[in-house]
Structures are given as C-alpha cells and as structure tokens.
Amino acid sequence: MKEMNKAIFLDKDGTLVDGSGYPEIIPADDLMKERVVRGLIKLKNQGFKLIIVSNQSWVSKGRLTKNDVENIFKSLINKLKKFEIEIDDYFYCPHKREENCNCKKPSTGMILEAVKKHNLDLSCSYMIGDSDDDILMAKKLNLKTVLVTTGLGNNFLGIGADYVVEDINHFAEII
C-alpha cells in the first residue's frame, strides 16, 4: 500500500499575498515574504506538501479571465521558488456563490480533488487561511485549522479555529 502524504492547504489572498486593498484591488501575487517564507520552508522541511486552495470568483464576475488567474498563480509560485519553496499544486474555484458549485469554499471540492491527486491523509494535514470560509471548509473534513490574522483574519477570531496566529511563520514555530 502506498504511503499517504500530509499537506498544508494554503489560502492565497490575505494568507500568502497581500489582500489589504480587497475588494477594490484584486489581490494578485504580492507575496508577503516577511510573513510566510520562513514558515513555508520549515513546513516543507517537515515533509508537508504545500497546496494552495483559493476562491477566485473574479472569473465569473468578469474582472479576470482564467488565463489571468493562471498567470497570477504561476507568478506567485515562481516568487516562492526564488526562496527554494516548492508549491506542490494549486486549485481555485472560478465560480460565484450563486452558482452553488462544490468547489467554492466553504464547500470541500478543492481539497477532495487534492486528496485524490496527491494521496493525502487529512488526519495529519492542516488548512491555513484568513477567513471563515477557509476554517468552515476545513472543519467539514476534520482538518486541523489555522486562522492567520493577516488579511481578513482579525474579523473571524470567534470562528473556532484550532490555532489563531499572526502569520504562517508563527504557525510553523508551534507545530
């Protein structure tokens, strides 16, 4: 039987990249390097796969094309590679909430797709995000949850995350 992998699921906007101008400024690839790089390196060295899961409803809203979104992810991944951080995969939902898809957070479709593709063991995996949808999605799958107070995180302190930390660097220090 093939050994299962553990993963860190990462929200993108407000968790990895600066989302402070949202929604007027669509977050893109402005890496918050001083808040994430050290932690991602440590998590990767602990054997976690790093997988980004992100709602990108800007596609359905007509503000970005799928090609735009793909280019943003590729740019972010290339920025992380400069710090020798390998992102194992990324998934995004292009739909609006009204479309009732199974991939838009807090639905679990993106994570379930990643589980199949990467043979993941959710019992030893974590979701790191800055919103209630990130935490609610993870709780549906019994993932350990980490709310970072970057981005929108300060608005959701009562959501019941397993960990509430300043940023990814701080989380990597405690596990």
Cα separation, 168 vs 15, whole angstroms: 8
76 has a pLDDT exceeding 80: yes
Q: What tokens appear for 66 in the block?
A: 């799928």
Place 27 in a pLDDT band, splitting at 50, 70 and 90. low
pLDDT at 156: 81
Residue of 11, 18, 130, 134 with catalytic role = 11
29 has catalytic annotation: no
134 has catalytic annotation: no
**b/e per residue, 87-118, with b = 16+ CB within 10 A?**
bbebbbbbbeeeeeeebbbebbbbbbbbbeee
Please report the domains of the chain, with CATH numbers, ordered by start residue. 7-174 (3.40.50.1000)
1 has a pLDDT exceeding 80: no
Place 2 in a pLDDT band, splitting at 50, 70 and 90. confident
pLDDT at 147: 95
pLDDT digits (tens, 9 = 90+) for 41-50: 999 999 999 9
Cα separation, 70 vs 76, whole angstroms: 10
Q: Taking a C-beta distance cutoff of 8 angstroms, is the pair 115, 132 a contact?
A: no
pTM equals 0.95
Average pLDDT over all residues of the chain:
93
